[in-house]
Amino acid sequence: MTLFSPLTLPNGKEIPNRIAKAVMEENMADVDHGPSSELIELYRAWAQGGTGLIITGNVMVDARAMTGPAGVVLEDDRLLDRFRDWADVARSGGGKVWMQINHPGRQMPAGMGQETLAPSPIPLDLGAQSKRFPMPREMTEADIEDVTRRFVATAMLAERAGFDGVEVHAAHGYLLSQFLSPLSNRRTDRWGGSLENRARLLLEIVSGIRAAGAPDFAVAVKLNSADFQRGGFSPEDARAVVEMLAPLGVDLVELSGGSYEAPAMMGAARDERTLAREAYFLEFAREIAEVAPMPLMVTGGIRRHAVAEQVVDSGVAMAGIATALAIDPNLPNKWRAGKDVAPTLKPIPWKNKPVASAAHMAAVRYQLGRLSHRRRTSPNISPIWALIVSQRHLKRATRAYRAWISARPALKGA
């Protein structure tokens, strides 16, 4: 088995190679929060680059709950033709395309002007940056039922639009990850306490999607290998949740880690086993693979062909690549041709990890913006400049989102 061997999923579908375009938050929605022309053009670059599996950036299941102001939303069929265009373009290179579906929970910026929901009324602890995120309201049974319905509905709309599957985001401190972590979930009802209770929402969503969708529609889960916070979601918890997912017909589990409070997904983990190297969640994946009947995917820092090969040689089915593909979307084709290239951005050795994480994401988004206009990327962009550009864009997008969301009731009644 090599990086360019096909992978047959439990649902019988085949992914042509073991390279996945992992999720990056593009913030390129159009004025109606559907996929913009620029976003579709960006995915054309990845499709033509030889990636076997493309997983979209966050698609939100509720317009009132956004990870960012220019995010894509899919909660009804009004813009389904635009989503069909997105899926068609993303598949145009012969790979598969899955839609990642998500709800931010308490990780929604205060500037969005919306009520924030979470398992428990516990705010984010980001030091001086904490004020950027409001105190969340504890979710009621009705709220939980609504979120479950929304995840399933969005998945079925993705299937109608021609996507090959969905990935349910239960990592990085977003809502489903918040339910899994004992630090953010302190409920005493059937949704909190034991790990079985904390995993209940994720399991019900996955079961609902699998029951409603076609047998060959892929259902994947993105899961933290750990939160990297003392007393949080642990590698042992991750292993147990994978065992719970096993009988539900899950086609793949992607392992990552961290949250806004401990951004391990940027290489800033609080566990020395994962620092300062590529594929920094691979060790955890090897442990979880012992109990995982479904294929696993590891995402985090991979940029060299040899490291990606090491991932699949270790028994992990797929290597998820994000930043390197933002710099060079043609990377899989180059590796297949024997070119030893390893795209990288300027390092960000800042001590403030949340700010460093934001600067890294801004530098990545800068590359995505250039690709969306068919321009060459600029990996040597200053992280400070990229952050300034990103903040300006987000401020404009936030104003546009608030105007759009306030007009929605009138639009619905028209």
Which tens digit of pLDDT belongs to each residue from 118-138? 999 999 877 777 788 999 999
The count of other CB atoms within 10 Å of the CB of residue 51 is 31
Of the candidate ranges 7-11, 22-26, 59-63, the one whose mean pLDDT is the lowest: 22-26
Q: State the first-to-last Cα distance of the chain, in angstroms, to the nearest integer.
A: 56
For the beta carbon of residue 6, count every other beta carbon within 10 angstroms: 11
Written as one string, the DSSP assignment of 396-411 is HHHHHHHHHHHHHHHH
Average pLDDT over residues 309-314: 91
Q: What 3 state SS string does 133-147 have?
A: CCCCEECCHHHHHHH
Of 53, 41, 49, 46, the C-alpha closest to 98 is 53
Q: Is the pLDDT of residue 266 over 80?
A: no
- Residue 64: name the closest of 146, 119, 160, 186 by CA: 146
Average pLDDT of the segment spanning 304-318: 92
- Once rounded to an integer, what is the mean pLDDT over residues 231-260? 87
Tokens 């409001």 — which residue? 134
Residue 269 has pLDDT above 50, yes or no: no
Structure confidence at residue 256 as a pLDDT band (50, 70, 90): confident
**Mean pLDDT (whole number) for 141-151:** 98
Distance CA 198, CA 409 (A): 34
Residue 253 has pLDDT above 80, yes or no: yes
Lowest mean per-residue pLDDT among 100-104, 160-164, 295-299: 295-299
pLDDT in tens, 4-21: 999 999 999 999 999 999
Residue 205 CA to residue 54 CA, distance in Å, equals: 22
- What's the chain's average pLDDT? 90
- Rounded to an integer, what distance in angstroms lies between the CA atom of residue 256 and that of residue 364? 18
Q: pLDDT over 70 for what percent of the chain? A: 91
Q: What is the pLDDT of residue 318?
A: 96
Which residue segments constitute the domains of the chain, with CATH numbers given? 7-345 (3.20.20.70)
**Could you give the CA distance from residue 352 to residue 359 in angstroms, rounded to a whole number?**
11
| pLDDT score for 165 | 98
Cβ atoms of 119 and 178 within 8 Å: the answer is: yes
pLDDT at 268: 39
CB 324 within 8 A of CB 302: yes
pLDDT value at 240 more than 90: yes
Which residues share a beta bridge with 29?
Answer: 35
Which residue in the block uniquely carries the two structure tokens 């300027």?
A: 346
Cα 232 from Cα 258, distance rounded (Å): 10
C-alpha neighbours within 13 Å on the C-beta side of residue 345: 30
pLDDT number for residue 220: 98
User: C-alpha angle 345/346/348, rounded to 5°?
Assistant: 115
Q: Summarize pLDDT for 275-296 with one digit per residue, the tens.
A: 334 555 777 888 888 889 999 9
Q: Provide the 3-class DSSP secondary structure of residue 357.
A: helix
Q: In the predicted model, what is the mean pLDDT of residues 38-59?
A: 97
Task: Give the single-character DSSP code of 215.
Answer: T
What confidence score (pLDDT) does residue 274 get? Answer: 34
Write the pLDDT tens digit of every residue in 153-183: 999 999 999 999 999 999 989 999 999 999 9
For residue 150, what pLDDT band results from cuts at 50, 70 and 90? very high
Contact by Cβ (8 Å): 9, 16? no
Residue of higher predicted confidence among 273 and 379: 379
* Residue 260 pLDDT: 63
Per-residue pLDDT band at 412 (split at 50, 70, 90)? very low
Q: What is the pLDDT of residue 353?
A: 76
pLDDT at position 124 = 87
Would you say how long the chain is, in residues?
Answer: 414
**Long-range residue pairs from 300-305, CB within 8 A, at least 24 positions apart, any chain:** 300/256, 300/257, 300/264, 300/265, 300/267, 300/274, 301/267, 301/277, 302/278, 303/278, 303/342, 303/343, 303/344, 304/278, 304/340, 304/342, 305/3, 305/335, 305/340, 305/341, 305/342
- CA nearest neighbour of 163 among 90, 215, 94, 220: 90
